[in-house]
Structure 1
Amino acid sequence: MNFIILGITLMIILGILAVFLYYESAQNIEKIKVQIPISGVTEIISEKLQIDSKTTPSPLVESSSPKCTGNADCFSGKVVKIIDGDTIRVDSRSIRFALVSAPEINTLEGKIAKDFVASICPVGSSVLVDEDDGQSEGSYGRMLAVVYCNNVNLNEKILESGNAKISTLFCSESEFSDEPWAKKFGCIG
């Protein structure tokens, strides 16, 4: 009889200890989540991008050199600043990616989108800018365009990454709405 009481007491104590340890570990996990600074998150993302680019064949290299279409401005230049996930500065001109909307830079998602663009097309890269014939008036002083960097369509890649969404509101105006990448993300020609 004493062994039964001792066994039951031991099981109760072990149960209480298990609940306590579970509660403490859950509390510590929550503390860790809260204590990771945004700079740490950016480092983790940068590491992940580097690991992925080393372990998988790069889908970023396209077989042929990009060419401008339409009649609007077309020029080559150097990236001097990545402003956010859908805007860069090429030489002295501010370029907004046509049909693309990335989160605002003051959010974690916005920082991730900016870092994604920088990972594909860092400052100093050569780019080809193809202005959107249908939106040549621009947007807030920025040229609307498709930007090719290292033979990669940045508009398409930021959409594919999930770090931006297509601006379907402008599909009816954009010269690029009939492009396969624009259709894939929701433009109906």
Structure 2
Amino acid sequence: MEQELLDYDVSKMKNFCFNGEFMARVVKVIDGDTIKVLFKCFDQFVLNKIRFARINTPEKDSKNNVEKENAYKATEFLDSLLKDKIITFKTDKQDSFGRMLAEVYLNDKNINDLMLNEKYAVKYVKHKVSKKM
């Protein structure tokens, strides 16, 4: 086993990614399209970040004051909605920062769509939604 690990060509590997539907507790709202969650997988509690699939919100560190203000509004809205709540998320891939890309649900309501409908987010085509989601 040890030699196999040493010999294996890691350039052929993809990063590990959770795949499926999970129940989680939102422990932190990072910004309008990213949250940190606690969930159980393989009988272990896991703390990980979720990047909402298909949407993008303004950046909190923007030099544009209007964009920065809108970023904080989106974050506050999401925080009031999700902080310490139990959610369900569906994921099957990661973004370039290692965050799980996911569709997020609160009481069967799609929060990705809610952020779009409430005008806190815009569509983000870089994250293609899997047909499984």
What number of residue pairs does the alignment pair up?
102
Higher mean alpha-carbon deviation, 79-88 vs 100-109, is at: 100-109
Question: Which of residues 86, 111, 114 is equivalent to 1:126?
Answer: 86
Q: Secondary structure at the match of 2:94?
A: coil
Compute the RMSD of aligned alpha carbons.
2.1
- 1:149 maps to 106
1:80-159 matches, cutoff 5 A: 80-91=27-38, 92-106=47-61, 107-121=68-82, 123-131=83-91, 133=92, 136-159=93-116
Higher helix share goes to which structure?
Answer: 1
Q: Partners in 1 of 2:109 and 2:76 — Cα distance? A: 16
Higher strand share goes to which structure?
Answer: 2
- 1:87 shift after superposition: 0.4
1:21-68 CA distance string (max 9 Å, x none): xxxxxxxxxxxxxxxxxxxxxxxxxxxxxxxxxxxxxxxxxxxxxxxx
TM-score in terms of structure 1 length: 0.50
- 1:94 shift after superposition: 0.1
5+ long unaligned stretches in structure 1: 1-70, 180-189
- 2:19 maps to 72
Runs of 4+ in 1 over 6 A off after TM superposition: none
Query: Does residue 164 of the first structure (1) align with residue 121 of the second (2)?
Result: yes
- 1:54 maps to none
The answer on whether the counterparts of 1:85 and 1:105 sit within 8 Å (CA) in structure 2 is no
Give the direction of change, closer, same or farther, for the CA distance of 1:137–1:120 in structure 2 (3 Å limit).
closer
Give the structure, 1 or 2, with the largest relative contact order (CA under 8 Å, sep 6 or more): 2
The answer on whether the counterparts of 1:86 and 1:102 sit within 8 Å (CA) in structure 2 is yes
Q: Secondary structure at the match of 1:169?
A: coil
Q: Partners in 1 of 2:104 and 2:54 — Cα distance? A: 12
5+ long unaligned stretches in structure 2: 1-17, 39-46, 62-67
Q: Which has the larger radius of gyration?
A: 1
Percent identical residues: 34
